[in-house]
Structure 1
Amino acid sequence: MTTTESQTEVQPAEGPEDAPARVIPEALPLQPEDPPRVGEFWLRGRLGANAAGYLYTAGDEAGRSAVVAMMTEGSADDAAARERFVNAVDDLPDDVVLAHNDADDDDLALWAAIGPIREDDGSSSAADERLIAERRGEEILSAVLMDRIPHMGRLRGPEFRHYWEGRRRPGLFRIWPLPWPNALRPASRWALVLALVTMAIIMALAVFLAWLLFRNAQPLEPQPVIPTPTGTVTVTITPTTPPPGTGSPTSTTPSPVPTTGIPTGTPTTGGTPSDPGDKF
């Protein structure tokens, strides 16, 4: 009797760092009305939006990644909504809020950068940090919108809506110093330099061609007539000397012809009252 032993390979248990990363949705491209930068964070794309504000994925020049929550223009004009935004940001841990603008800027929309988020290295920890920051941003905007407050009592009457829900454009923002050209990538900077050099060459070539075309241009004939204050114009006629052997006059030195006064102005004779020539 033969006994066959089956050997089974035991796979090591996967640790939290070896677990496959969660699939997180990609950010949508920025729209023309979106700010390119808030504070020290450059916005990269949209993560979500509602009537209270927008969620953006962003990063600063130091390499930190964050999720930026920013109010809409409608909610930013409501003092109560601004207060709810500030309270929701204050409820977060201090190490979570990387940056935010001053709540006293009444003419600007409030925003807050939430993190920290490590670079996407394919691990589950990096994806979890991104999702956690995004959930915290959603909670801030939900506090402004008050859509997660449980209803008390029975439903009666029309549904409640904020008066500013229709104004969903991103709120006002201020960029100083200006983002250009810091927002350009190295490839974009080279393209911009080449475009400027090409424009300068074309302009120099156009000026050179114009100089070649008009450098030997003759003066206009006849000379422009300039009237005098007395209402007459002075015309000087200078005869030219004919070439030798063509029957020239006896005098070789031309004598200037005296000037004559030619009156100008509206003719006083001719025409009838109905003649259009009397009107000019």
Structure 2
Amino acid sequence: MTATDSQPEVQPADVPEQPPALDIPAALPLEPEDPPRVGEFWLRGRLGANAAGYLYAARDETGRDAVVAMMTEGSADDAAARDRFVYAVDDLPADSVLAHNDSDDGDLALWVAIGPIHADDGSSAVSDERLIAERRGEDILSAVLMDRIPQVGRRRGPDFRHYWENRRRPGLFRIWPLPWPNALRPASRWALGWALLTMALIMALAVVLAWYLFRNAAPLEPEPVIPSPSNTVTVTITPTTPPPGSTGTPTKGPSTVPTTGIPTTPGTGSPATPTNPGDKF
């Protein structure tokens, strides 16, 4: 046995495995009350919410991803809360603010798009960018809500609560141009086209059925009496056969009875004399 044969085999050192990329959970679906678009960003889902606002996953027309922080209707109506939102956005790095609306729009909720978030290539860098953008959005909403201000002194009395915390619907927004039909995918366009065609066929079928049902309908009996401009009415009298034992001849043919609006005395045809209402007593 040689010296080389007595040496133990050297095992290769274990190469540490690279940590897998962080698995970012998908955003929650949008609610009917959520805006489909703010500015140039289409909202794709909810990432978080509190009494001050919402965080949305968004993407613009060029495919650029971002996180949009938007105020609720309660916080958007409070001037002090709007100022805190603006101050928090101003504190962010300049390259992280992709877009925002004008703070002078007093009737609209303030929003800001935070990024940049590059295209997802499966690396952890993209996940980190998304997490950083979400954290910055949470910091903005927390600044509005003032829930991270450290306690000064001893805690006494009831907890502080904003008067607008119950108004948690998304704030007012304005979309121009309108999102329809740009927001529709090809499958949605086909579904919308088939729905419109089905509605048109149902309406046409209803019209045809109505025509078949009422084309042979009998006229109204008796026919409506329509006065002429000369204040005369044409009344059609149907000939009748007198009963047995009675005298007289049946009347037939239309007769025109002029009506002048002057009351007549029954049986004589002469104008009636107006009576004084006091004569009845």
Question: Is this a same-fold pair by TM over 0.5?
Answer: yes
Worse-superposed segment, 130-139 or 176-185: 176-185
Residue 86 of structure 1 is matched in structure 2 by 86
Q: Secondary structure at the match of 1:59?
A: strand
Separation of aligned partners in 1, 2:94 and 2:48? 24
Residue 201 of structure 1 is matched in structure 2 by 201
Residue 13 of structure 1 deviates from its aligned partner by 6.4
Residue 139 of structure 1 deviates from its aligned partner by 0.6
CA contact (8 A) 2:29 2:46 kept: yes
**1:160 has 2:163 as partner:** no
The residue type paired with residue 123 of structure 2 is: S
Q: Secondary structure at the match of 1:95?
A: helix
Residue 32 of structure 1 is matched in structure 2 by 32
Count, aligned residues: 250
> What TM-score comes out, normalization by structure 1 length?
0.76
Separation of aligned partners in 2, 1:165 and 1:221? 67
Residue by residue, what CA displacement relative to the aligned partner does 1:252-280 show, whole Å, maximum 9, x if unpaired?
Answer: xxxx95746499x99998xxxxxxxxxxx
Residue 170 of structure 1 is matched in structure 2 by 170
Q: Secondary structure at the match of 2:45?
A: strand
**Structure 1 residues 12-51: aligned runs within 5 Å:** 19-51=19-51
Residue 6 of structure 1 is matched in structure 2 by 9
Residue 138 of structure 2 is matched in structure 1 by 138
Residue 205 of structure 1 deviates from its aligned partner by 3.6
CA contact (8 A) 2:142 2:148 kept: yes
CA contact (8 A) 1:19 1:123 kept: no
Residue by residue, what CA displacement relative to the aligned partner does 1:28-84 show, whole Å, maximum 9, x if unpaired?
Answer: 111122111111111111111111111111111110111000111111111111111
Structure 1 residue runs without a partner (length 5+): 240-255, 270-280
Cα RMSD (Å) of the superposition? Answer: 3.2
Residue 272 of structure 1 is matched in structure 2 by none
Residue 200 of structure 1 deviates from its aligned partner by 1.9
**Structure 1's 157 and 260: CA in aligned 2 closer, same or farther, altered over 3 A?**
closer
> What TM-score comes out, normalization by structure 2 length?
0.76
Residue 210 of structure 1 deviates from its aligned partner by 4.3
Q: Secondary structure at the match of 1:106?
A: coil
Q: Secondary structure at the match of 2:6?
A: coil
Q: Secondary structure at the match of 2:95?
A: coil
**Structure 1's 47 and 232: CA in aligned 2 closer, same or farther, altered over 3 A?**
same
CA contact (8 A) 2:232 2:256 kept: no
Residue by residue, what CA displacement relative to the aligned partner does 1:79-122 show, whole Å, maximum 9, x if unpaired?
Answer: 11111110111111121111100000111110000011122222
The residue type paired with residue 147 of structure 1 is: D
CA contact (8 A) 2:234 2:254 kept: no
Residue by residue, what CA displacement relative to the aligned partner does 1:203-253 show, whole Å, maximum 9, x if unpaired?
Answer: 3343344445555667667654434578764346899xxxxxxxxxxxxxx
Separation of aligned partners in 2, 1:84 and 1:260? 86
Separation of aligned partners in 2, 1:78 and 1:167? 11
Separation of aligned partners in 2, 1:160 and 1:221? 77
Residue 249 of structure 1 is matched in structure 2 by none
Residue 165 of structure 1 deviates from its aligned partner by 1.7
**Structure 1's 268 and 68: CA in aligned 2 closer, same or farther, altered over 3 A?**
farther
Separation of aligned partners in 2, 1:268 and 1:109? 79
Structure 2 residue runs without a partner (length 5+): 240-251, 267-281
**Structure 1 residues 73-152: aligned runs within 5 Å:** 73-152=73-152
CA contact (8 A) 1:20 1:122 kept: no
**Structure 1's 161 and 217: CA in aligned 2 closer, same or farther, altered over 3 A?**
closer
**Structure 1's 139 and 219: CA in aligned 2 closer, same or farther, altered over 3 A?**
same
Worse-superposed segment, 70-79 or 128-137: 70-79
The residue type paired with residue 153 of structure 1 is: G
Residue 179 of structure 1 is matched in structure 2 by 179
